[in-house]
Amino acid sequence: MNKHMLTMAALLFALLFIAPAPALAQKRQKTDANIHGHVIDGNTGEHLSFALIFIKDLNISAETDSTGHYYLSNLAEGRHTIEVSLFGHKKYEGLIDAEIGETKEYNFTLFKDVMTIDQVVVTANRYATKRRESGQIVCVVSPKLFENVTAVNPAGVLNFQPGLRVEYNCGNCGFSQLRINGLSGQYSQVLLDSKPIFSSLSMVYGLEQLPESMIERIEVVRGGGSALFGSNAIGGTVNIITKEPIGNMLQLSNQSGIIGARATDINTSLNASVITEDRRAGAYLFTMIRDRDAYDRNNDGFSDMPRLRSQTIGMRMYHNIGEHGKLTAEYHHIHEFRRGGDTIDEVPHLCHIAEQAEHRIDGCSLSWDGKWGNNNVGAFVSAQGIDRNSYYGAGKDPDAYGRTKDLTANAGAQYIHNFGRLWLMPATLTTGLDFTYNNLSDVFLGYGRSLRQTTRQGGLYVQNEWRNEKIGILLGVRADKHNMIAKPIVSPRLTLRYTPSANWAFRAGYASGFRAPQTYDEDLHVGAVGGEVSLISISPNLRPERSHAFSLSADWWAKLGQWQLNALVEAFYTGLKDVFVLTEKGADAHGNRLLERTNAPGAMVAGANIELRAVLPEVIELQAGITPQRSLFNEAFQWSETVSPQKRMFRAPDLYGYFTADGKITHHLKASLNCVYTGPMLVQHYAGYIPADAEVLTPDFFDLSARLAWHFHLSGLTRIELSCAVKNILDSYQKDLDVGKSKDSAYICGPSMPRSFYFGAKLVF
């Protein structure tokens, strides 16, 4: 499936979804049974714009306008269930009566859910569940956090969740990875709308390639308890939920920055939402253009942040079919160019070091969901194709050009049945199957590297959750067959929840998982070290890696006057068997450094996530998290002949955390303050600029940032926001960077960006 096929698929989706919508609107019966009214905030009395009014049994909806009012016409006669919702508020559900020829007024009041404990999430159990009632802790990243921390992609916000840390591992190309509960990026599963289209290749730069403008929220489940989405979710699961159209809207925004007084970063996005008159079909379209210069911290002529050029365009569409079914489609195209090294404007093979990658990514998905009484049925198919042209070379090597092609396709079906009572209490049975196919071709003829890999993995899962307000018991199991593993692997799952009162929730969980012995994960980034290139292969005797994850947590909520408080303590332990490690195997005939992936006996990661929140509604919101942990191999591991063996894992600090504060200064002016702390950690430093391989204990880093935003209405339907921000105010940045053409490009740590200034403007109408 090439990019032309995917583009045609997107156009076909648009014709199927949007073209029939006017016809559907015309077929709707004229009953003159109408309702109208307003929606207000229960705390302030203000009218709420963009609140969603949904008639559940008729599967139609409306949205409040800029004055907080709504109107629904030509309803079917009778009594109907209505839901009123708005992000950040508690959902209202009730009944309304529609009578032929009459117009009735129904007004609604929504109260803020500042702790979002009653927010509905989907990542914990593969079906919609309130966060409070979920057997696992689900962290939610809202669009508000993107604004407060001046982030333009997921990589910029995930540091502000307990147990999560985004780190950058290459000063030439900016390769990043997400660590969850101390485990590196290969142990985390990233989903797009609950679909696993992120392959090993797309994970290399994927967290920076998805623009903020397409994201409704991000749900994060820490630990292996999310294995129902796939048994390789050992560290946790990150589910990126894209925006769905809820009204007619157009938004234009720009965010421009000056990085370290030496480079610029310009981000422009244009988004639009459109729905039909009867609200049975709609589309959300998003675009973003980014242009960031390379940054050289120590003036040695070699980049410490790469040049970045990217363009993204995409859409998400829905079409309600009758009263019980819904089709949803998504398409995105990303064209990204990144370049690091020296003499950035020169062709790569005339440079001492050059890392250059140009990606063309096309992805799409189609899903159908239906509901009949207590039964929910869903099915999906999705695919993503990547075409990458690259140069990873040193010493003006004319043969370091490469070409990588990657296709990931997956499909699945799921059935959910809600029991009014099964033995002791109400229960939800979930069962389903999924299949993932990946075909990867990675060719570097100059290095004698021409490798092709095809993986196929099919999974079956079943789980049952008994749940009421006080108790939740979930038993589940997943069985997977991978074409690179001889026998199917069974991964059980258990979660327990006890909620003795509205103020407390206790949870415990266990899950197992595995990683197949694939050639590629982050290795599709080829690093330059000491003027040489490092290449990675797998041992012919490489065994699957197995995991066992345990968690235990206590969650507390309370009100102290007008303050709302929340405290969470979560202990975690993950044991790994036959853990994958890299060992040095000398050099090849071209002088390239060879690394081999082998098995170490095992490893363990243990620690605790501690989170505190305090909210004074309409005034200030405070949140802080800290994670103390230990990451150790069971036996001392030697990665280099010149370095003594030891048990401690690399790039795993014993302590890290964050802090955010968001407050209103006036009705139109608000301020945000945030900080990311990274404690000392052990980092590998390969020989080149230094005479021999070494292990370095890094200092701690405090990445402090602040933002001011002023918003106002130009007219009733048009509003504008102006903002300014300073990132890394203290200029906390690595001081011992390598210098010159013999540098180790992977020897970087701490914040990815120096002190920088950003200015933004957003227009919505």
Reported as type and span, the H/E element at residue 273 is strand 263-275
Domain ranges of the chain: 31-110, 120-764
Quick one: tokens of 172?
A: 């030439």
278-306 average pLDDT score: 91
260: phi > 0 → left, psi -120 to 50 → alpha, else beta; which? left
Q: pLDDT band at 237, cuts 50/70/90?
A: confident
Domain 31-110, CATH number (from 1.10.3210.10, 2.60.40.10, 3.20.20.80, 3.30.70.890): 2.60.40.10
Is 312's pLDDT higher than 90? yes
Is 129's pLDDT higher than 70? yes
Long-range contacts of 299-303 (CB under 8 A, 24+ apart): 300/739, 300/740, 300/743, 301/342, 301/343, 301/740, 302/171, 302/172, 302/341, 302/342, 302/352, 302/353, 302/739, 302/740, 302/741, 302/743, 303/171, 303/172, 303/340, 303/341, 303/342, 303/344
Greater model confidence, 715 or 681: 681
Q: Which residues pair with 565 in a beta bridge?
A: 558, 614
Quote the percentage of the chain above a pLDDT of 90.
43
Least confident of 255-259, 292-296, 404-408, 516-520: 516-520
Is 19's pLDDT higher than 60? no
Sheet holding 215-222, edge to edge: 138-141, 215-222, 236-242, 188-192
For residue 441, what are the contacts with CB-CB under 8 A and spacing of at least 6?
Answer: 403, 404, 405, 406, 451, 452
526-538 average pLDDT score: 59
Cα end-to-end span (Å), the chain? 38
Distance between CA atoms of 332 and 313, rounded to whole angstroms?
6
Residues 654-673 have pLDDT tens digits of 999 999 999 999 988 999 99
Which of the given ranges, 67-71, 175-179, 277-281, 696-700, has the highest pLDDT on average? 696-700
Q: Are 401 and 391 in contact (CB under 8 A)?
A: yes
Judged on CB neighbours under 10 Å (0-12, 13-18, 19+), 509 is: buried
554-581 average pLDDT score: 91
Quick one: tokens of 281?
A: 């079909």
Q: How many residues does the chain have?
A: 765
Quick one: tokens of 510?
A: 């266990």
Query: Is CATH 3.40.50.1110 the right assignment for the domain spanning 120-764?
Result: no
Q: Are 447 and 592 in contact (CB under 8 A)?
A: yes
> DSSP alpha helices (H): ranges in 149-241?
202-209
Q: Are 47 and 67 in contact (CB under 8 A)?
A: yes
* Residue indicated by tokens 């200030």: 620
SS3 assignment, position 199: coil
Distance between CA atoms of 525 and 173, rounded to whole angstroms?
9
Is 298's pLDDT higher than 60? yes
Reported as type and span, the H/E element at residue 341 is strand 325-341
Q: Are 111 and 43 in contact (CB under 8 A)?
A: yes
The whole-number pLDDT of residue 7 equals 46
Q: pLDDT band at 519, cuts 50/70/90?
A: low
- Distance (Å) of CA 53 to CA 36, 49, 71, 103, 217: 10, 11, 9, 16, 20
Q: Are 756 and 266 in contact (CB under 8 A)?
A: no
Quick one: tokens of 185?
A: 């990026």
Residues 476-513 have pLDDT tens digits of 899 999 888 888 988 898 999 999 998 999 999 998 88
Q: pLDDT band at 521, cuts 50/70/90?
A: low
607-626 average pLDDT score: 94
Reported as type and span, the H/E element at residue 66 is none
The whole-number pLDDT of residue 334 equals 94
Q: Are 265 and 760 in contact (CB under 8 A)?
A: no
Q: pLDDT band at 9, cuts 50/70/90?
A: very low
- DSSP letter for 338, please: E
Residues 191-224 have pLDDT tens digits of 888 888 888 778 778 888 888 988 988 988 888 7
714-727 average pLDDT score: 87
Greater model confidence, 242 or 85: 242
Q: Are 251 and 238 in contact (CB under 8 A)?
A: no
Judged on CB neighbours under 10 Å (0-12, 13-18, 19+), 366 is: buried
Q: Give pTM, 2 decimals.
A: 0.86
The whole-number pLDDT of residue 115 equals 65
Strands 281-292 and 263-275: what pairing? antiparallel
The whole-number pLDDT of residue 27 equals 47
Task: Give the phi and the psi of residue 478 in degrees, each rounded to 5.
Answer: -130, 135
Judged on CB neighbours under 10 Å (0-12, 13-18, 19+), 487 is: exposed
Q: pLDDT band at 534, cuts 50/70/90?
A: low
Distance between CA atoms of 640 and 581, rounded to whole angstroms?
12
The whole-number pLDDT of residue 374 equals 86
Amino acid in position 324: H
Quote the percentage of the chain above a pLDDT of 70.
90
